[in-house]
Structure 1
Amino acid sequence: MYAPTRTVVDTSESSSGPRADGPAPPAPPRRGWRRWAMDTRPLRRPAYRRLWASTAVTAVGSQLTAVAVPKQIYDITGSSAWVGTASLAGLLPLIVFALWGGAIADSMDRRTLLLITNTGIAVTSLLFWVQAVAGLESVAVLMVLLAVQQAFWGLNAPARSASIARLVPEDELPAANALGSTVMQTGQVAGPLLAGALIPVVGLPELYLIDALALCATVWAVYRLPALPPLTARVARRAGVREIVEGFRYISGHAVLLLSFLADIVAMVLGMPRALFPQLAAETFAPYGEGFALGLLFAAIPIGAVVGGLLSGTYSRARRHGWMVIGSVVVWGAAVAGSGLSGNLWLAVAFLAVAGIADMVSMVFRGAILLSAATDEMRGRMQGVFTVVVAGGPRLADVLHGTAGSAFGPRTAVAGGGILVVVVMLALAAAMPALRRYRV
């Protein structure tokens, strides 16, 4: 556990405990361009490799369903309002079950929990396919299935993330997070493109079926993981409100954990400008073609994140994790501000791509801090809160930026949000030194 009175983690307490794999074979020296390329050391560990492979498979498959659900709802209703309502219908179950799932992940074998939840997600995808093939055309059924799927995902995500620290040593946590985040970001780019190409060929219902089949591969990969029970007998076998509250108390008592969450909230709530992309495409960048500009704006941040992941060898061995978080959030804010000040589409996209790289670095080291600065018996709950912050922050940003864009114009709102990120993050770093001093 991170000791508040020290600036260095006591590895005898914060270590992952006994890992599922034995020692990995020594990595060859990294020379030339390999020093810049993605750090793949965690993939030498079979258990982590299985978990990562399952993530890679579902990263694309899940995006097929993410495209199919709003497309089907729009086909039924002809209303974007219904599409937005359906998105909100999945948010509340995600928040509730992510918090509860974190507590459950700290009280039982995480492999068992992953098996149960991945199976539940697969069955839900299969039910999506059944209703589409049956031609029910019921928005209510789609919203219920979406809520159930998001509930399973909320239960799954904390256990999956918390398990990483049991599968790789502490010094490889940033590299493991970079590998996982890169395939997820790649899925967000490739999945929608694949869905768009497949719908005219195989039809919308088959997207659900492909996702369900991909999840079967995920269940098999998780089945082959070793058991991941709680490490100590002190761990409570309950997972209720009291245990969830204990997780929040734990965060409040550890400044570096609290600051890692605040850094993400600052970056996403104040600086995520996606709600303004349609207005920017229609007004500022209309001469480039509205549809073309909109596609580039939405793709820029994920593409930058993928590039940041592929180049993770440049930073994954850094030990000053706190400074890496502070620096990446400041760069994110400055790049977002630059995109807002740019009247040229290509320059704005370039700034957003830089923001995506910074976001990847931030995700890598915030994730590493949550896994290394918390004890194993609290990691599930930390990841549950992390899931809520990641899911909720951009949605709050949509409301904030949409309102600001209507009042002050989209470019002013984007630039102002980015500048606020820089100012607030630097103020937090100056006022609370725990994050600056944190290293492994």
Structure 2
Amino acid sequence: MDTSESSTAPQTPAPASAEDPPVRRGWRRWAMDTRPLRRPAYRRLWSSTVVTAVGSQLTAVAVPKQVYDITGSSAWVGYASLAGLVPLMVFALWGGAVADSVDRRKLLLVTNSGIALTSLLFWFQAVAGLESVAALMVLLALQQAFWGLNAPARTASIARLVPAEELTAANALGSTVAQTGQVVGPLLAGALIPVIGLPELYLIDALALCVTLWAVYRLPSLPPRAAPAKRRAGLREIAEGFRYIALHKVLLLSFLADVVAMVLGMPRALFPQLAGETYAPYGEGLALGLLFAAIPIGAVLGGLFSGTFSRARRHGWMVIGAVVAWGVAITGFGLSDSLWLAVAFLALAGVADMVSMVFRGAILLSAATDEMRGRMQGVFTVVVAGGPRLADVLHGTAGAAFGPRAAVAGGGLLVVAVMLGLAAAIPALRRYHV
């Protein structure tokens, strides 16, 4: 019997086996690489992600719906989103430093408990009929603060649970689940709201988080490897994280690659205008839904067939190629008159985004020391959360000035040019391999 499976007490993770897995043949070599799931500790962490990927999206839909129901204003929906973004970014940076100074398992238990509590409070205010936008914004800010503390510890823990050669496969598994949640969660929320109402969506999320807590409780202990005297989490430690990035160009380039792709090439702010103008003959509602769903669907497909790329060793070239492919696909989307061709290009962009996520995540976990992984993931969380929102402002402004299709195509071309320029000017990413 596997004693690590049967015991609920925290344990120190055993060294991962270095034995090479059997070579997969036929269609199996193209399918998702599931080797990390053979490791009980990683399997628990991943299973908790499966549960919350859908549950969190229920709340992500319920909050803006409730804000709009109360105010009748899309502007207030935007203000609520900003109320969640600021604490997420602040606490992700601090949470990265905390994750490098404490037992990450304990931090995950505390922060998941906080997220579950806020979900219960969301449910309580909805059942009580408070109809207070201020209360919703406070709860959203609190929830996102807990999430900012949670995310760096969760991702940084992966490198302690699987061997280095399985990091890309582990990232592909996690990213596929997250993207699937972004597709299934909103669809499920849309179907459930008319049947059970908003309060019950919050309650389902809270119950799902209880399952997550159990899975995290059964993880092994993940204490910091640094000396006790170094276990601090203040402004100086956060600044040390940024200095570490500046001194390690492969890490800096991995962050810049995501900024280039998301800020210059994420055109979601223009989807409503394109659906109402360029693709109106197909039906505005249908067009809008397909445009928003296409990238996550492509990412899920990329994850399901991640065996085609997850064993690549030149991680730097994979990131460069994926970002360039994203830019080319976005350019094709901008030039498309046909809705179906546009959706196909966006799906291809989703595949490229999945490849980029997998290898950027692997670089952050393998190129950084364990003492710095939490802070790297904190910065990563800020980049992932902030990049698309900056893109909304940039593309919205460019779309008003040059037209939506020109703005989209121009942004895609800029992604290609800037990424190739960075790769040529700074060879660290090109040379990085495992």
State TM-score, norm by structure 2.
0.96
C-alpha displacement of 1:201: 1.1
Identity of aligned residues (%): 84
> Could you say which residue in structure 2 is the equivalent of 1:364?
358
In the alignment, residue 112 of structure 1 is paired with which amino acid? K
1:197 aligns with 2:191: yes
Does the Cα contact within 8 Å between 2:16 and 2:162 map onto a contact in 1?
Answer: no
In the alignment, residue 98 of structure 2 is paired with which amino acid? I
Output one character per residue of 1:234-277: Cα deviation in whole Å (capped at 9) or x when no partner.
Answer: 67211000000000000000000000000000000000000000
Output one character per residue of 1:102-136: Cα deviation in whole Å (capped at 9) or x when no partner.
Answer: 00000000000000000000000000000000000
C-alpha displacement of 1:20: 4.2
1:124 aligns with 2:118: yes
> Could you say which residue in structure 1 is the equivalent of 2:127?
133
1:173 aligns with 2:167: yes
In the alignment, residue 222 of structure 1 is paired with which amino acid? V
Number of aligned residue pairs: give it: 423
User: Aligned to 2:242, what secondary structure does the other structure show?
Assistant: helix
Does the Cα contact within 8 Å between 1:20 and 1:47 map onto a contact in 2?
Answer: no
Within-5 A mapping of 1:272-291: 272-291=266-285
Q: What is the alpha-carbon distance in structure 1 between the residues aligned to residue 369 and residue 18 of structure 2?
A: 23
Q: What is the alpha-carbon distance in structure 2 between the residues aligned to residue 201 and residue 419 of structure 1?
A: 45
C-alpha displacement of 1:21: 5.8
1:76 aligns with 2:73: no
> Could you say which residue in structure 1 is the equivalent of 2:102?
108
Does the Cα contact within 8 Å between 1:333 and 1:421 map onto a contact in 2?
Answer: yes
1:431 aligns with 2:425: yes
> Could you say which residue in structure 2 is the equivalent of 1:353?
347
State TM-score, norm by structure 1.
0.95
> Could you say which residue in structure 1 is the equivalent of 2:395?
401
Q: What is the alpha-carbon distance in structure 2 between the residues aligned to residue 28 and residue 311 of structure 1?
A: 18
Output one character per residue of 1:62-96: Cα deviation in whole Å (capped at 9) or x when no partner.
Answer: 00000000000111111111000000001110010
1:49 aligns with 2:43: yes
C-alpha displacement of 1:232: 3.0
1:148 aligns with 2:142: yes
Q: What is the alpha-carbon distance in structure 2 between the residues aligned to residue 406 and residue 20 of structure 1?
A: 57
Does the Cα contact within 8 Å between 1:103 and 1:240 map onto a contact in 2?
Answer: yes
Q: 1:354 to 1:235 in 2, by over 3 A?
A: farther
In the alignment, residue 413 of structure 1 is paired with which amino acid? A
Does the Cα contact within 8 Å between 1:20 and 1:166 map onto a contact in 2?
Answer: no
Q: What is the alpha-carbon distance in structure 2 between the residues aligned to residue 108 and residue 373 of structure 1?
A: 21
> Could you say which residue in structure 2 is the equivalent of 1:187?
181
> Could you say which residue in structure 2 is the equivalent of 1:417?
411
> Could you say which residue in structure 2 is the equivalent of 1:4?
none
1:319 aligns with 2:313: yes
Unpaired runs of at least 5, structure 2: 1-11
Does the Cα contact within 8 Å between 2:52 and 2:212 map onto a contact in 1?
Answer: yes
Question: Cα RMSD over matched residues?
Answer: 1.1
Q: What is the alpha-carbon distance in structure 2 between the residues aligned to residue 234 and residue 306 of structure 1?
A: 42
Name segments (4+ residues, structure 1) moved above 6 Å.
Answer: none
C-alpha displacement of 1:23: 2.9
> Could you say which residue in structure 2 is the equivalent of 1:159?
153
